[in-house]
Structure 1
């Protein structure tokens, strides 16, 4: 047997994968809201493709848990209940703590400095009262934290969890009386990593998770409450 047998030609990303990426982005940004129904024919018409690739893309996102298929009704964007939200944040934090542990063992000073740049992006978004940019900078911080650990498996797990996190972040809008609190939480995490303080770093990641869950799982304050707080 030749050593080259069994290899397949390298091709560009498939159409279903590209469609799945578009749908994933729309879902994560809230453009396709939780509970919204997906209609294959409508999506195929909008993208100018046949329904086959659409169906395959939908199957991928269903496997990821972002879509739900209901017999005799159709396919819908997943809606997260309290248990789902807790599970997402517990799982994401577990992955991030594992990544943080790897980073502390390496060049933690440089890693912390990189995260502080992401914190500066959050502060810039806060100063402009740009909630969308704030959420993107928030996600970018956590994405970079795990990416720097250079663990393909941790990154793979974290990728799906981040899409679900983006869906949750849409609910965080209006739940911070002062967005500087959110910025400060991330800054403290980055500084703990930079200083190589493992125990403090793990405590801060857990506290960050607990704070997010407390805000997500309580009733959103009314405009009157925000004005009088």
Structure 2
């Protein structure tokens, strides 16, 4: 603590990638929207080279798709995609939970408790956007606490797609107190060292989300 460390420096491509990824996550670039190079380069104040490279990263990540002779488009998510996102998240987060229980549970509980506090505050204000942010941050911490960079990397795209689902189907989001209690039970299970209960709760959390987000 208190020691000066080098400040991370991002390339233009990384900055543009982060901007586009955030715009997709929050719906500023809507599902199905076409990305025009000239317009985006103008809005971002950059040349087309870094923009093209950043967009290709998003294609590889699965958040953009290419249509021959038409260009790049933000992906759209149907009911099958919604279910697939949450089932994939379940696989990753179950693995993360197992690793968390095998490693430093105390550190995980401390980090998750802090993330839960942010969720509690957002729920208190009944701010849906802040709740979604805090919900996502909680699950990012859960996967990060596993100590597996590969699980963490895989979770990142899925969490963006989760946010896209929630943007499109905001009315189905659980009540604030219900959301808080779902996450509090996860922290309690880790704190108590109850791996079987933790795995059951994370599975219920994901399957309940699929049901809530089910398109009529």
TM-score by length of 2: 0.91
Contact 2:83–2:210, Cα closer than 8 Å, also in 1:
yes
Structure 1's 177 and 201: CA in aligned 2 closer, same or farther, altered over 3 A?
Answer: closer
Alignment match, 2:211: 214
Query: Are 1:161 and 2:145 counterparts?
Result: no
| Aligned partner of 2:192 among 195, 199, 211 | 195
Which blocks of at least 5 consecutive residues in structure 1 are unaligned? 1-10, 220-229
- The answer to whether the Cα contact below 8 Å between 1:37 and 1:77 also exists between their aligned partners in 2 is yes
Residue 178 (str. 1) matches residue 175 (str. 2):
yes
Task: Tell me, in whole angstroms, the C-alpha distance in 2 between the residues paired with 1:192 and 1:114.
Answer: 14
1:43 counterpart = 2:40: yes
Separation of aligned partners in 2, 1:180 and 1:38 = 38
Aligned twin of 1:17: 14
Distance in structure 2 (CA, Å) of the matches to 1:62 and 1:176: 28
- What is the TM-score when the length of structure 1 is the normalising length? 0.86
Cα drift, residue 177 of structure 1: 6.0
* Distance (Å, rounded) in 2 between the aligned partners of 1:111 and 1:177: 25
Q: Does the 8 Å CA contact 1:35/1:76 hold for their aligned counterparts?
A: yes
- Alignment equivalent of 1:92, drawn from 89, 92, 95: 89
Q: Give the drift of 1:176.
A: 3.9
- Aligned pair 1:129/2:126, yes or no? yes
> Displacement, 1:204?
0.4
| Structure 1 residues 171 and 179: alpha-carbon distance in aligned structure 2, compared to 1, 3 A threshold | farther
1:60 alignment partner in structure 2: 57
How far residue 201 of structure 1 moved from its aligned partner, in angstroms, is 0.4
The number of residues matched between the two structures is: 209
* DSSP 3-state at the match of 1:149: coil
Deviations 1:100-138 (A, max 9, x none): 111111232442243122222112111111111100000
Structure 1 runs of 4+ off > 6 angstroms? none
SS in 2 for 1:174: helix
CA contact (8 A) 1:61 1:67 kept: yes
* Structure 1 residue 84: Cα displacement: 1.4
Question: Could you say what secondary structure the match of 2:136 adopts?
Answer: helix
8 Å contact from structure 1 (residues 108, 195) kept in 2: no
